[in-house]
Chains A and B, each alone.
Chain A
Amino acid sequence: MLNNIKMSIPILAGVLLLIGLVNTLVPKEFFSKIFTGNRALDPLIGALFGSVAAGNPLTSYLIGGELLKTGISLAAVLAFIVSWVTVGTIQLPAESLMLGKKFALLRNGISLIMAIIIAVLTVLATGILG
């Protein structure tokens, strides 16, 4: 048990430092510039960028809300915020070290695809239910 705790401390410190780095190097305005306006491609772009972003999910809602106002499709915004909380590219080294490389890669890969599917299904279901 102590070994597990000792092993996790440098990993957690590394992840926190990486999050600090990404939050500093990637300004929030950057996200509004990455979408193309293509309704088929934007959910994929949203999911990809959500997966490399890090930080409080609240930030993703704020960014998502602003993106909607600028005309970005709802599916793209939802893929972005779902991927933000379900995929962790920055945490991938930590997840690999503690839960296994294959597990971490598969879990994050599947979650990335699912973020797009969930986003599209949510938009469709919201439309159907009026």
Chain B
Amino acid sequence: MKKIVQKIGANWLFLIAVVLVYLILGLWNLQLALAGLEVFLGLLKKILPVLGIVFLLIFVSNLFLNPKTVAKYLGTGAGTRGWPIAVIAGILSAGPIYMWYPLLGELKKKGMRDALIATFLYNRAVKIPLLPMMVYYFGLKLVVILTILMILFSVLNGLLVERLTTQN
């Protein structure tokens, strides 16, 4: 099994497994499988521009960010300055969370702290463009409190994740 994973690659095996699920679903109920594919195509159309931006950022980060620079601002030696960078970048980053995994994987290889990766990912939940809609449903006071708590907990999340990942 390990040899197969190494030969094909876990990433391709994952895709193959999902395609197999679709095939099985299609044999059982073709309409459902086609409806799932329709959602997939709709999502793909929406995320392609974001994916383009992410891949461009990976390219730019590769050109301008060497491990020393990443370590300076987002590594263990960055001190407190890494936190606001991770929080603000997380809030401002657009598109679905999984679009950012490749860039973060690249930055991790260059020395970005696990704590700051987790904090960045947590702040992806603070969606400024969607705040008016949230206020409409839940009220301004609640949304302000919830947003502040989420930002504060993002730091705690980062610290806990890093603490536990480094433990044996």
Contact = CB atoms under 8 A, between A and B. Distances in A.
Interface string B123-160: 01101001001100110011001100110010011001
Interface residues of A, number: 54
A68 B102 CA distance: 37
Chain B's interface: helix, strand, loop or mixed, by majority?
A: helix
Chain A's interface: helix, strand, loop or mixed, by majority?
A: helix
Interface string A1-43: 1001101101111111111110111000000000000000000
Contact of A97 (B11, B47, B121): B11
7 contacts: A1-B59, A5-B102, A10-B14, A11-B15, A14-B15, A24-B39, A118-B149
Contacts of B98: 11-12, 15, 88, 91, 94-95
A86 B133 contact: no
Contacts of B12: 10
Contacts of B19: 17
Interface of A: 1, 4-5, 7-8, 10-21, 23-25, 57-58, 61-62, 64-65, 68, 78, 82, 85-86, 88, 91, 93-95, 97-100, 102-103, 106-107, 110-111, 114, 117-118, 121-122, 125-126, 129
